[in-house]
Amino acid sequence: MAEQKPISKNYLDLKSRVWDEDICSGCGACIAVCPADALYFEIGVNSLHPQSNNYCKSAVDDVPCGACYEVCPRVDEKHLDLLGDYLEITAGKAEFDIPKKQSGGAVTALLANALDIGLLDAVVTVTEDLWTLKPHSMIITRSEALIAKAGSRYNWWVPLISSLKEAVIKKKYRNIAVIGVPCVVQAVRKMLETDNQLVGPYKKSIRFVLGLFCTESFDYDKLIVGKLKSEYALEPMKVCRIDVKGKLEITCNDGVQYVIPLAELQDTVRPGCGVCTDFTAIKADISAGSVGSPEGYTTIIVRTLVGQHLLDSAVANKKLTVGGEVDIEAIEKLAKKKLKRKPA
């Protein structure tokens, strides 16, 4: 009797399990690891999940793969604790000027220090068009560029991890940091833990994962065009900062602030966010956000020895100051609210 080949999942299984159920996070992990470049996002009406060009070698030629299915954060998603495991929780702020920093600028300080001393050679992150606020993922390799691009763009949906393919496969960086919201962090952690050989280059190249607190991500067109421009007559170029702390806070260049309850924005939230129960990105090496820290500081949750090393290095090199009391109850309050999405 001929030996049976192991059966691996392919994009059709992912489509049935995730895409057709409208629970895709939009992280782009499946696109990044697809060896045939068969998956892509079509921006616009079909952007709720990836599309396929029908050249999946597993589905068409019966070639074992399964990479896309194995790294999807919505497959076998585990419902998590409020804050997860951690080594310490502290507040931090950058010790140098960051013009458009979010809260204390600690995330930028951590990563800029790691780039400067050679711990990292690339950071996969999100930046935006200053005129339109339209986001896109990119690779940053110099601390000066990282500082110039500082500021949170993670309120917008963008398939962040899809830029990993360029960083790992084309440019062959081998000390990469990924910054992302919880679904991105979950996908990257799956890359680091899988035994699938096709994901091997990513597993060898990603050194550090920084997670950002997140309640949900918004669709750019629906929020900017459909809400802010139409209902509030607010031009994107006038926006200085956007933050989500149980409500949407928009600060303009002239200091005027708009506060919009999240209940009024539900039609702008990506459907896949409705099943996510992770507020603090508990699979990261370090999680960070503005909730719980004093004004001008960033809350930092150190979860792993890798995260501790990067934090200690930034402090030792006087790029970052830590200390100050963190209101853990404030973080837990939002974490509990998101955890209620857990299916019965």
**Cα torsion 96, 102, 104, 105: sign:** negative
Of the pLDDT bands very low, low, confident and very high (cuts 50, 70, 90), residue 153 is low
**What is the reported pLDDT for 4?**
40
The C-alpha angle with vertex 231 and arms to 225 and 237, in degrees rounded to 5, equals 50
Strand arrangement of the beta sheet that strand 286-289 belongs to: 135-140, 122-128, 176-180, 206-212, 286-289, 298-302, 88-94, 320-322
Distance separating alpha carbons of residues 206 and 191, to the nearest angstrom? 9
pLDDT tens by residue, 274-299: 899 999 999 999 999 999 999 899 99
pLDDT of residue 67: 96
156-202 pLDDT, tens per residue?
Answer: 667 777 789 999 999 999 999 999 999 999 999 999 999 999 999 99
State mean pLDDT over 315-322: 97
Q: How far apart are CA 298 and CA 305, in angstroms?
A: 20
pLDDT score of 84: 94
The pLDDT value recorded for residue 5 is 42
The H-assigned helical ranges of 257-303 are none
Mean pLDDT of the chain: 89
pTM of the model: 0.91
* Average pLDDT over every residue of 237-254: 83
In sequence order, what are the beta bridge partners of 318?
none
Assign 3-state DSSP to the chain and report helix, strand, coil percentages, each to 5: 35, 20, 45
| 44 confidence band (pLDDT: 50, 70, 90) | low
pLDDT reading at 316 higher than 80: yes
Q: Residue 249 to residues 24, 38, 261, 301, 329: CA-CA distances in angstroms? A: 26, 38, 9, 23, 21
What pLDDT score does 343 carry?
60
Is-contact 157 220, C-beta < 8 A?
A: yes
Q: CA dist 165 to 59, 138, 215, Å?
A: 22, 11, 27
Burial 186-204 (b: 16+ CB within 10 A, else e): bbbbbbeebebebbebbee
Asked whether the beta carbons of 70 and 194 are under 8 A apart, the reply is: yes
